[in-house]
Amino acid sequence: MPDTILRLALPSPLRRLFDYRAPAGVPRSALQPGMRLRVPFGRREMIGVLIEVVEHSEVPLDKLKPALELLDRRTPLPAALFKLCLWTAQYYQHSLGDTLSWALPVLLRQGEPAEARQERFWHATPGADLNDPRLARAPRQREALRTLAQHPHGVAHSLLSKLLLNKDSLDLLLEKGLVQVEVRRSAPLVRHGGWLAQPELPLNAEQRAAFTAIQSGMDGFGAFLLYGVTGSGKTEVYLQLIHQCLQAGKQALVLIPEINLGPQTLERFARRFNARIALLHSGVNDRERLDAWLAARDGEADIVIGTRSALFTPLKNAGLIIIDEEHDASYKQQEGLRYHARDLALVRARQDNLPIVLGSATPSLESLHNAHAGRYALLKLNQRAGGAQPPRFLRLDVKSLPLDSGISGPLQQAIGQTLAAGQQVLVFLNRRGFAPTLLCHDCGWISQCQRCDARMTLHQRSGELRCHHCGHAERPPRQCPDCGKVDLRPVGAGTERAEERLNILFPDIPVLRIDRDTTARKGSMDKLFSTISRGEPCILVGTQMLAKGHHFPRVTLVAILDADGGLYSADFRASERMAQLIVQVAGRAGRAEEPGKVIIQSHLADHPLLVQLTEQGYPAFAEQALSERRGAGLPPFAHLALLRAEAHKPGQAEGFLDEACSYAEQLQQELRLPAIELLGPVPAPMERRAGRHRAQLLLQSGSRVPLHKLLAAWLPILEAMPAGRAVRWSLDIDPIDL
Ligand code: ADP
Ligand code: ZN
Ligand code: ZN
């Protein structure tokens, strides 16, 4: 009889599969690829996914350990999802086991059953009488029975407290036989009168053209770039497409950036449809995540909305994928499996033969390039919906102006005028805390982080110096640690300082700060938004959390305190990011009747990029930026892979990368791979971070195929390099931070 050997993917960084024997008593016929098994691994146990059943192993049979337990009776992973994970692991040169563990809900990785939970439902026993003599002196039980009798489908146990049903009363009723308990899956949604809970807006001509183009391609793969200025009604187009999808009996998957997770975005979807919506984002707990995942897989959710990792949600009957704000950097995972959810969504759409819509007011240069090349259909919305005017830009040169906590005199005046006219102001500053540095005025000491090449930010409210790179925090010194003098001064301004100053300048006006420090608590964001939506004059101060997705109809002035960073950064993507941020923040102004104004403070107010962006808009900026990238041979006209390494000792990371680099050169010759440039190794932009010394090696190529051939041959060598043991290294395919 042939041997039965199980080849498993385990959650390990090693790019290989692991062989085991079948668990005792489990016949071969019970084993299907995709099923999970508990196995011994070293001194631990792990849960692996069965990839295939084979008859031979390189390991002698008596050395193979048996798996301990088969966890599934049918495979929990639909074939389509499995295929996507395989593609992902291969493209990102990542271990399949680790890829699966990033893609699957935590509880599945821990061995939880992959079936929807059963719930207990309480029913009134048919024929139970409210006038039963046993209830004569039990008014609470009678009330409970009355409530239950009003719910012919029963009441889910989890909803008892919502209906003011008391468990003790129910237990007493159960003893009397007046109520019954049934265990089943949650009740399917009872729908009334179709999918729409709210009428659709009549689309304007541009929206209609976009909608029609996408709708006529709904039967199969097609990629659409919906390029619509802020407020042009992209979301309305998504909603009407989703409606089409639901009517065709299919499910829609909507990805949104982390920053858009505000109540406003989710509510818009929930208000529109009588549909079962599954939410998958950082705010849901592990159990809710698994439930949503299972509901989507089993066709019990109609719409799935989530952030990056929701891309890996299985859908029983997928009909449409939407990527909102497709340019957003949060779609790229920056640790472990460094995937880009937008790029993978395109792969998924192609594999599953689905239409995919990428929407943005400021598309990434990659997507614009794909549209120019004819790979995506380009659909433009140039007008704001509902008649709102586009905002006007004013570049304010602050070169010789005194700045008071980052705010110039002319800007103060403009803020005062807007408030006096009864309107709201948004002040944007992409820096949390009070001040980015503390400086000794006597000797020049600055608050350097001990573990990073970075300064520590002063957070006055919490009384701390905090490093935003490694998380280290300490009390600010009273005296200079170097010279002992006490003249320590905060230098520069963060949101806390701007807030404090604005409070002093406009004492009668509420100043609301919105950044990660103020919104960390659950519900705090809702509270801020309800103040804003009351519409009275107020000032919002915040970081990029303010920039996207929100709708503030009463904001007519947007002030950008500091636009200089993106103009002289070393990262070639910095200007693209700055332009996107400026346009997105500006898009918060004048979304209703009053036209909006945007004031940009800069020391480089005449910088050609800034001039072009503010006078000709994002499309002109993007075309210019694309032609510069083409000239410089940078993405999207080239493909990159970045090998990063870090180590405790200086020089160790470079040593590893040097060796890796010479292997790559050798391979390139052996495999005769043309046109791959190896750049570096060089120190990382922040050479020391969290106590480790960091370096990187960049691989750049005009075409993808040779690059990926090289990587595939190179990685097993890197894994085997002794020098690799003392360093932590990782490969980033299509990196977005260099
Ligand atoms: P975007 O997603 O492009 O930023 P939204 O979909 O949020 O734009 O639309 C901006 C505003 O215009 C919203 O208040 C929305 O209700 C309104 N709107 C969108 N489409 C229409 C339309 N066809 N007619 C009237 N108002 C519309
Ligand atoms: Zn000093
Ligand atoms: Zn630090």
What pLDDT, in 10s, does the model give residues 261-273?
666 777 888 899 9
Among all bound ligands, the one having the nearest atom to the CA of 446 is 2
Taking the CA of residue 236 as reference, the ligand 1 atom at the shortest distance is 6
Which residues make Cβ contacts (< 8 Å) with residue 713, sequence separation at least 6?
Answer: 667, 671
N-to-C CA span, the chain: 55
Residue type, 183: V
The mean per-residue pLDDT over the stretch 113-142 comes to 86
The model's pLDDT over 269-298, given as tens digits with 9 standing for 90+, comes to: 889 998 989 988 888 899 989 999 999 999
3-state secondary structure of 116: coil
Question: How many Cα neighbours within 13 Å face the side chain of 423?
Answer: 24
Which residues make Cβ contacts (< 8 Å) with residue 437, sequence separation at least 6?
Answer: 446, 447, 455, 456, 457, 458, 490, 491, 492
Name the percent of the chain lying above pLDDT 90: 68
| Cross-strand bridge partners of residue 558 | 426, 598
- In angstroms, the CA 115 to CA 103 distance is 17
Taking the CA of residue 202 as reference, the ligand 1 atom at the shortest distance is 23
Question: Would you say residue 434 has pLDDT above 90?
Answer: yes
The model's pLDDT over 630-661, given as tens digits with 9 standing for 90+, comes to: 999 999 999 999 999 999 999 999 999 999 99
Among all bound ligands, the one having the nearest atom to the CA of 322 is 1
**Residue closest to 266 by CA, chosen among 310, 299, 224:** 310
pLDDT (0 to 100) of residue 358? 98
Output the CA 470–ligand 3 centroid distance in Å.
Answer: 4
pLDDT (0 to 100) of residue 284? 87
Taking the CA of residue 207 as reference, the ligand 1 atom at the shortest distance is 23
3-state secondary structure of 237: helix
- In angstroms, the CA 579 to CA 591 distance is 20
pLDDT (0 to 100) of residue 562? 86
Share in percent of the chain as helix, strand, coil (round to 5): 35, 25, 40
- In angstroms, the CA 657 to CA 563 distance is 36
Question: Would you say residue 567 has pLDDT above 90?
Answer: no
Nearest protein CA to atom 24 of ligand 1, as residue? 386
pLDDT (0 to 100) of residue 592? 65
Taking the CA of residue 230 as reference, the ligand 1 atom at the shortest distance is 4
Calculate ∠ Cα 282-285-287, nearest 5°. 135
Name the percent of the chain lying above pLDDT 70: 96
Output the CA 393–ligand 2 centroid distance in Å.
Answer: 42
The pairing of beta strand 5-9 with beta strand 44-54: antiparallel
Nearest protein CA to atom 15 of ligand 1, as residue? 233
Output the CA 680–ligand 1 centroid distance in Å.
Answer: 48
pLDDT (0 to 100) of residue 571? 84
- In angstroms, the CA 173 to CA 179 distance is 6
Structure tokens that stand for 462 in this block: 């919490």
The mean per-residue pLDDT over the stretch 445-457 comes to 93
Output the CA 343–ligand 3 centroid distance in Å.
Answer: 32
Nearest protein CA to atom 4 of ligand 1, as residue? 231
ipTM rounded to 2 decimals: 0.97
Calculate ∠ Cα 155-158-310, nearest 5°. 120
Which residues make Cβ contacts (< 8 Å) with residue 136, sequence separation at least 6?
Answer: none
**Mean pLDDT across the chain, nearest whole number?**
90
pLDDT (0 to 100) of residue 237? 97
Q: Is 670 exposed, middle or buried (0-12, 13-18, 19+ CB in 10 A)?
A: exposed
The pairing of beta strand 377-381 with beta strand 222-228: parallel
> Residues enclosing ligand 1, CB less than 6 A?
201-204, 207, 228, 230-236, 385-386
Output the CA 218–ligand 1 centroid distance in Å.
Answer: 23
- In angstroms, the CA 655 to CA 18 distance is 31
Q: What is the DSSP-derived secondary structure letter of residue 324?
A: T
Greatest mean pLDDT among 226-235, 342-351, 535-544: 342-351
641, containing H or E segment: strand 639-647
Among all bound ligands, the one having the nearest atom to the CA of 474 is 3
pLDDT (0 to 100) of residue 538? 92
Among all bound ligands, the one having the nearest atom to the CA of 472 is 3
- CA dihedral for 558, 564, 565, 567, sign (positive or negative): positive
